[in-house]
Amino acid sequence: MPRWRMPICASAALAAAGLLLSGCANPSVGSANDDPTKPVTLKFWHGWSTPGEVKAVDDSIDRFEKLHPNIKVRATGNVSDETVNQALRAGGDKAPDVVSSFTTNNVGQYCDSGMWADLDPFMRKTGLDKHKTFPKTLLDYTSYRGNQCALPLLADAFGMYYNKDAYKKAGIERPPRTMSEFEEVSEKLTIRSGGDSYKQVGFMPNFRFYQNSPDRLFAQWGPRYFDADGDSRLADEPSAYKFFKTTRQLVEAQGGFRDLEKFRMSFGDEMSNQNAFLTGKVAMHLDGEWRGLMLDEAKAGFDWGVAPLPVPDDQADTYGRGFITGTVAGIAHSSKHQNAAWELVRFLTADTQQVVAFANAIHNVPSTFAALKSPDLDADPTFRTFFDILENKHSKALPPSVNGGAYVVSLMDFAYGVESGRVPDLRKGLKKLDEQIDADTLQSKS
């Protein structure tokens, strides 16, 4: 399930334990002088919440404890980033030792604030070569300005699901690879029902549709969000103008924003059996690797496939790329058992058998080179398509920022205005967006 769309709430257990902490106290100074071979109990906080996910986490801990009988792990699930940050600011015995987060956007804050410990010294001490272990894109979103304060703990890759039956009926032989082909195929697959409605759209381009947030679509252009000084540069990014022009063309080719938005409002919930792709209202759909498992469980009434999302015509050689995100794990700076905590982080993120078992259990993409090549991985070819997207050198993740995901929210609000016609001058609008992002960044540093 897409982690960033899960409800963000602290569990009742945390509230009862008095762990919903507040205040702006500096984090307690932890210790990396502990002996990881001595008996110790670690506190591990994570965000997984469904029974199957929690079981997969508990099974992982069981495997770890068998390898490290002196280390006991007490796990707490369904924990939000806000709760973790409050606990780490307060420090003390109730704070976690090891933490995980579904929000890669916040890595810049974790690293810059010092709340999460720098992991490079631990990797050097134990001989883990991060460049030989993890794909570069994943290392990029788990570090900030040279501080590797997190490591990837499975990944999510985005591709395009398509209805093979609809393709066959429309005489389409293969998925589109460029944006011009995408527009042509989308129009061909769109079936009207009355003057202003539809029976089916080829691709719903509206940014409020399920996973269609602008940052995920924009990744196909390989944009640069910030300059070397960390300032927003979207108004100076040529691909920003091409991106909005292409999405507008996709909208117009299928009937215009007003009619498409009206049709979108008729769709069922994304995570239900009334999902618009599952019910045949949308023939091509941007989504992550978890969707395949959900389609199988729902027994989709049509044949479907997965392919990379198309790329700009002038970047045809980058076809196969996609948007990448995932779960990250790190060590709390306040932990007094950082060497033992590192043993847990290293096991969860870099042990090949563990990464493969966890990936198969929750149907997320493995996050190490060795795990991606393991014969024990789920052999489903549609699932493996996302492995190729992850390993594509052109695939993109959002860059970390000290203002966390605030710049993404600003981009989303701006994109909503563009698609609905409320931004008459794109250049002026992008310049104003840059100013807003920079102001938010400055405020986060104060």
Is the pLDDT assigned to residue 144 strictly greater than 80? yes
Average pLDDT, the chain: 91
| 3-156+324-391 matches 159-318 in fold | yes
Please state the pTM of the whole predicted model. Answer: 0.89
Q: What percent of the chain has pLDDT over 70?
A: 93
pLDDT score recorded for residue 15: 37
pLDDT band at 13 (very low <50, low <70, confident <90, very high): very low
**How many CB atoms neighbour CB 202 within 10 A?**
28
Over 90: is that where the pLDDT of 369 sits? yes
Torsion of CA 159, 163, 167, 172, to 10 degrees: 10
| pLDDT score recorded for residue 138 | 95
Per domain, the residue ranges of the chain are 3-156+324-391, 159-318
pLDDT > 90: what percent of the chain? 81
User: What pLDDT digit, counting tens, does each position of 46-75 carry?
Assistant: 999 999 999 999 999 999 999 999 999 999
Nearest C-alpha neighbor of 200 from the set 212, 210, 188, 192 = 192
Higher-confidence residue of 14 and 286: namely 286
Average pLDDT over residues 199-222: 97
Amino acid 11: pLDDT:
37
Bigger pLDDT: 383 vs 432? 432
Domain at 159-318: CATH code:
3.40.190.10
**Among 396, 401, 354, residue whose Cα is nearest residue 377:** 354
Q: Side chain identity at 67, as an amino acid letter?
A: L
Is residue 153 a contact partner of residue 326, using CB atoms and an 8 Å limit?
Answer: yes
Least confident of 16-20, 276-280, 334-338: 16-20
Domain 3-156+324-391 belongs in CATH node 3.40.190.10: yes
Can you tell me the distance from the alpha carbon of 403 to that of 408, in angstroms, rounded to the nearest whole number?
Answer: 10
Q: 289: pLDDT confidence band, cut at 50, 70 and 90?
A: very high
Length of the chain: 446
d(CA 95, CA 65): 21
**C-alpha–C-alpha distance, residues 118 and 110, integer Å:** 10
pLDDT computed for residue 278 by the predictor = 98
pLDDT of residue 28: 54
pLDDT over threshold 50, residue 124: yes
Spatial neighbors of 340 by CB under 8 A, at least 6 apart, are 34, 36, 40, 42, 71, 97
pLDDT band at 405 (very low <50, low <70, confident <90, very high): confident
Checking if the pLDDT of 21 tops 70, the result is no
pLDDT in tens, 305-335: 999 999 999 999 999 999 999 999 999 999 9
Give 92-111 pLDDT, tens digit per residue: 888 999 999 998 888 998 99
What is the pLDDT at residue 379?
78
- Written in H, E and C, the secondary structure of the chain is CCHHHCCCCCCHHHHHCCCCCCCCCCCCCCCCCCCCCCCEEEEEECCCCCHHHHHHHHHHHHHHHHHCCCEEEEEECCCCHHHHHHHHHHCCCCCCCEEEECCHHHHHHHHHHCCECCCHHHHHHHCCCHHHHCCHHHHHCCCECCECCCEEEEEEEEEEEEEHHHHHHHCCCCCCCEHHHHHHHHHHHCEECCCCCEEEEEECCCCCCCCCCHHHHHHHHCCCCECCCCCECHHHCHHHHHHHHHHHHHHHHCCCHHHHHHHHCCCCCCCCCCCCCCCCCEEEEEEECHHHHHHHHCCCCCCEEEECCCECHHHHHHCCCCEEEEEEEEEECCCCCHHHHHHHHHHHHHCHHHHHHHHHHHCCECCCHHHHCCCCCCCCHHHHHHHHHHHCCCCECCCCCCCCCHHHHHHHHHHHHHHCCCCCCHHHHHHHHHHHHHHHHHHHHC
pLDDT tens sequence across 328-365: 999 999 999 999 999 999 999 999 999 999 999 999 99
